[in-house]
Amino acid sequence: MDFDLNDEQREIQSTAKDFLGNRFKPEKVRELAESRSYDDALDKEIAELGWPGIAIAEDDGGQGLGMVELAVLLEQSGYAAAPMPLLGSAGAALAISAAGSDSQRAEWLPKLASGEATGAFGEVTEAGSSLFCDLPTADVAVVFDEDGASVAAASDLDFTPVETIDSTRSYATVSGPGGDRLEGDVAGGRDRVATAIAAELTGVGQRAMEMAVDYARERQQFGRQIGAYQAVSHRCAAMLLGIEESRSLIYFAAWAADAEPESLALAAAMANGRAADAAWETTTSALQVFGGIGFTWEHDLQFWLKRSRVAGRMLGSPREHRERVADLIGLGAGEPVTA
- What is the distance between the alpha carbons of residues 215 and 217, in angstroms, rounded to a whole number? 5
Instruction: Check whether 81 has a pLDDT greater than 80.
Output: yes
Question: In whole angstroms, how far apart are CA 161 and each of 35, 41, 135, 166, 179?
Answer: 15, 23, 8, 13, 19
Mean pLDDT confidence for 227-238: 88
Distance, CA of 267 to CA of 252 (rounded, Å): 7
This prediction has a pTM of 0.94
**pLDDT at position 45, please?**
96
Q: What is the Cα–Cα distance from 298 to 318, expressed in whole angstroms?
A: 30
pLDDT for 222: 80
pLDDT classification of 177: cutoffs 50, 70, 90? confident
What does the pLDDT read at residue 2?
Answer: 62
Does the structure show a pLDDT above 90 at 197? yes
Reported confidence tier of residue 295, pLDDT bands at 50, 70, 90 = confident
| Distance set, CA 241 to CA 79, 196, 238, 247, 286 (Å) | 17, 21, 5, 10, 14
- pLDDT for residue 97 is more than 70: yes
Domain limits, the chain:
187-328
- Give percent of the chain above pLDDT 70: 97
- Which has more pLDDT, 336 or 95? 95
Q: In CATH, which superfamily holds the domain spanning 187-328?
A: Butyryl-CoA Dehydrogenase, subunit A, domain 3 (1.20.140.10)
Contacts of 228 (CB under 8 A, 6+ apart): none
| 141-151: average pLDDT | 96
Contact 76, 202 (CB under 8 A): no
List the beta bridge partners of residue 174.
159
Question: What pLDDT score was predicted for residue 292?
Answer: 83
Convert the pLDDT of each residue in 98-117 to its tens digit: 999 999 999 999 999 999 99
